[in-house]
Chain A
Amino acid sequence: MDVFFDTAPYSPGKDEKGALLSRRLFELTRRHYERCEPYRNIIDGLGFDLEKAGTYYDLPFLPVSLFKQLDLTSVPKEEIFKTMTSSGTTGQAVSRIYLDRETANLQQKALSKIVSSFLGASRLPMLIIDCPSVVKDRTMFSARGAGILGFSFFGTSRAYALHDDMSLDMESITDFFEKFGGRRVLLFGFTFMVWQHFVHEIEKLDIKPDLSQGILIHGGGWKKLAADAVSPAVFKKRLYETCGIREVHDYYGMVEQTGAIYMECEEGHLHASVYSDVITRDFHDFSVCGFGETGIIEVVSALPASYPGHALLTEDEGVVLGEDDCPCGRQGKYFKIQGRLKNAEIRGCSDTYAAGL
């Protein structure tokens, strides 16, 4: 794994990265096959033979929803260092992801490499667009809490912008703006939180903080904003008008593959780093889609050593735009997410909601 961290996250080209990822992902497939019985049963059931696989494109992938239904780990219980859960709404099943120290370290290292390539090496004063309670229970991490803690590593003088009831913490933010206004700062939060509880609320106030030198990193998806017809362009424009912030980066990631996130570049494209990749697949036979073709997003990550989540079929649809030739200069694939797979209208007389996902 060290070889991954010896290189800059967006420097290896297709061939170099392909060889590196294939080797690591084959190794992970073998490891999980040996140590995780349900995974072994599935892989055997799918008729997969590692000896016959050429590249990581050939590896079997698990549907990401499987982690909501099964406990899948490849380490003994006593080595589990923390358990992460996805942030489902009440009553919904959540994914449970079991991390040992090794995997947690790999995740933090990869995240650090990726994010510092955008932020620079030094830590920045950080305003978290969320409430402090979301990171309280450190043994059970929700996706939101995990994201915040992961990114907190890049911040100093961390402040939370919201109270636990999601109202603006005026004391906290005015203090932050007074101390760090006009300087390079890091803002971090979930896209919806930033929009609903920050942009909207600051707009109502009679203040215009100067965050012109700041950088905002946000993630978590556009579902709620898309429902209100808020496009990324509108999101960025309103942020700029509210606090002068120009550097805004979305990211794509999921609790099932924490660490290896896909950052949005200056061109508005999501980028795969050396630690991971996206493959779009045709739903008819899961064959690989060409660039420009919409498909189901598969994500592979070199990091999951303690659970068999290194190759996952997501419930998102998207399109790979190209590889190694984004105008921003980063190597690797760049892509766009087009949203969740649409629910199907299923016939029949049972209470069936789209495919039971």
Chain B
Amino acid sequence: MIPMPQDFSKLSVTLGDAGTIEAMPGIAALRPFSPQAVDFLNDLSRELLRADSGLGAGYSDVATFAFWCRKGSVMKMKEDYPNLESRLGKGIVFHSTPSNVAVNFAFSFASGLLAGNANIVRLPAKDFDQVRIITAAAAGLLTGKHKHLAPYLAFVKYPPDQRLHDYFSALCDVRVVWGGNETIRELRRSPLKPRATEIAFADRFSFSVLDADAYLDAEDKDAAANHFYNDTYFSDQNACTAPRIVIWTGEKKAEAKADFWPRVAALVREKYEYQPVQAVGKLNAFCLLAASHPGCLCISDDNALVRAELRAIDTDTKEYAYHSGFFMEYDAASLDDLLPMIDERCQTLSYFGNKEAITAWIMDRRPHGIDRVVPLGDTMNFTLVWDGTDLICAMSRVIRS
């Protein structure tokens, strides 16, 4: 039992209480995919789907999480782990979740729980309905049917505070930090226990590879545009997974672009709202890029969708990435054209076309970046392997006997 200093006035515990946290070092770890955790998540899923539909409008991100954590889906994930018998959770995981994404915290604690740990979750600073809904559903279950799991879950909320970072960092066996880089730097000032480890999700850079010919052959082009819209505009094109550059491969590039972009533009006109400051920001982003890259061309009918046609892919290309509907675009003769920009910061390659060609190319060229290759529309789908790290393995330990 590690008593919490009494003067943490900035701290509010929104699930569990200070006692839950203080008692965590003394409780037994769970096994990965323990029946308790799987059942709890399954009931949570049911509660959320009910609560969400009860609200009328419904939050698509809450529903996505609810589908992800239902038993059928979790048992399918478990199939990727045939050798769990000798594993146990490491103990306590402290999750620092991003302040401007609502549901990320839920995927984070669910992963920690599935790996077999007690979890302290620092919630987003912003007040999201989604956070309230998930917290209420979890609280209901943990005081009732799933009482025995209550010691394994605490949600906290506090403004950046070194002493609180220190306290939770000293308490945990694994610290999971969802970036950006500023937040990671801030938390790294708080020491971990000597054996504790950290999983840091830093600012990343993602791009799309669209095969012009495959696109033109596709039956449902509106679906492709819709997937692209969801991958980008849904998160203000500011999620790590959101493509900032669109690479075209194949033969009929001009034809494909002339078909694709108007479809995206139509969706944007219909659904996307943005502020004047974002319009100015996109103009500024283009000017910055163009100033030092002669031949770079701005294509835009209005400020909702701004494209910047690149003449080449350079090592510095991704420094010019911007959000809110600003797309750098490049016609590639071969995927090798992309190599200069691919470093450890590259995360998601979303594609339309032939996946095998892309993965074969990655394994052949072995760049230092690209952790995910997913079809258009799947960029935001959370998996237990994230950013190249297997969360179940990283948050559990192996007992050799």
Contacts and interface: CB of A to CB of B under 8 A. Distances in A.
Interface of A: 38-42, 44-47, 62-63, 65-66, 69-70, 283-286, 296, 313, 315, 317, 341-352, 354-357
A207 B388 CA distance: 72
B237 interface: yes
Interface residues of B, number: 52
18 contacts: A41-B291, A44-B295, A46-B298, A65-B280, A284-B303, A296-B279, A315-B277, A315-B280, A341-B275, A341-B276, A342-B277, A344-B278, A345-B100, A346-B236, A348-B239, A348-B240, A349-B101, A349-B180
Given A38-B291, A45-B286, A63-B287, A355 B280 contact: yes
A95 to B, nearest CB: 13
Contacts of B100: 345-349, 352
Given A41-B291, A66-B287, A346-B100, A354 B235 contact: no
A282 B274 CA distance: 13
* Nearest 6 pairs of A and B residues by beta carbon: A348-B238, A355-B281, A351-B180, A45-B290, A38-B291, A283-B276
Given A296-B280, A342-B277, A344-B277, A47 B238 contact: no
Contact of B238 (A41, A283, A350): A350
Contacts of B277: 315, 341-344, 354-355, 357
B281 A45 contact: no
A42 B276 contact: no
A100 to B, nearest CB: 21
B244 to A, nearest CB: 11
B292 A357 contact: no
A344 B275 contact: yes
B183 interface: yes
A348 B179 CA distance: 11
Contacts of A348: 100-101, 235-240, 242, 323
A284 B284 CA distance: 15
B180 A63 contact: no
Contacts of B293: 41, 45
B181 A351 contact: yes
B131 to A, nearest CB: 14
A17 B191 CA distance: 66
A351 to B, nearest CB: 3
A347 B324 CA distance: 9
Contacts of B308: 45
Nearest to B238: A348
Nearest to A283: B276
A285 B287 contact: no
Contacts of B239: 347-350
The CB with the most chain A CB atoms within 10 A, among B239, B274, B280, is that of: B280
Given A38-B291, A45-B298, A46-B298, A349 B179 contact: yes
A70 B181 CA distance: 24
Contact of A349 (B98, B182, B280, B302): B98
Nearest to A351: B180
A38 B287 CA distance: 9
Nearest to A346: B236
Given A286-B303, A350-B203, A42 B182 contact: no
Contacts of A47: 297-298
Contacts of A346: 100, 236, 238, 278, 323-324
A283 B280 contact: yes
Nearest to B285: A356
Nearest to A354: B277
Contacts of A349: 98, 100-101, 104, 178-180, 201, 235, 238-240
A157 to B, nearest CB: 44
B254 to A, nearest CB: 17
Among B275, B291, B301: residue with most chain A CB under 10 A: B291
Contacts of A343: 277
A313 B287 CA distance: 12
Given A347-B236, A348-B236, A349-B179, A357 B290 contact: no
Contacts of B201: 349
A352 B100 CA distance: 9
B337 to A, nearest CB: 20
Nearest to B275: A344
Interface in B256-305: 274-281, 283-298, 301-304
A344 B274 contact: yes
Given A42-B290, A45-B298, A347-B234, 10 more contacts: A44-B290, A44-B295, A45-B308, A69-B288, A283-B280, A285-B301, A315-B280, A344-B275, A344-B277, A354-B277
B240 A350 contact: yes
B44 to A, nearest CB: 23
Contacts of A315: 277, 280
Nearest to A68: B284
A344 B236 CA distance: 11
A291 to B, nearest CB: 19
A61 to B, nearest CB: 8
A343 B324 CA distance: 13
A285 to B, nearest CB: 4
A285 B237 CA distance: 20
Nearest to A43: B290
Of A317, A344, A347, chain B has the most CB atoms within 10 Å of the CB of A347
Contacts of B275: 283, 341-342, 344
Given A285-B302, A349-B239, A355-B324, A44 B294 contact: yes
A66 B285 CA distance: 9
B322 interface: yes
Nearest to A317: B276
- Interface core residue of A285, A346, A356 (most chain B CB under 10 Å): A346
A88 to B, nearest CB: 16
B284 A70 contact: no
B303 A283 contact: yes
A355 B278 contact: yes
A33 to B, nearest CB: 13
Q: Which of A46, A47, A354 has the most CB of B within 10 A?
A: A46
B373 to A, nearest CB: 20
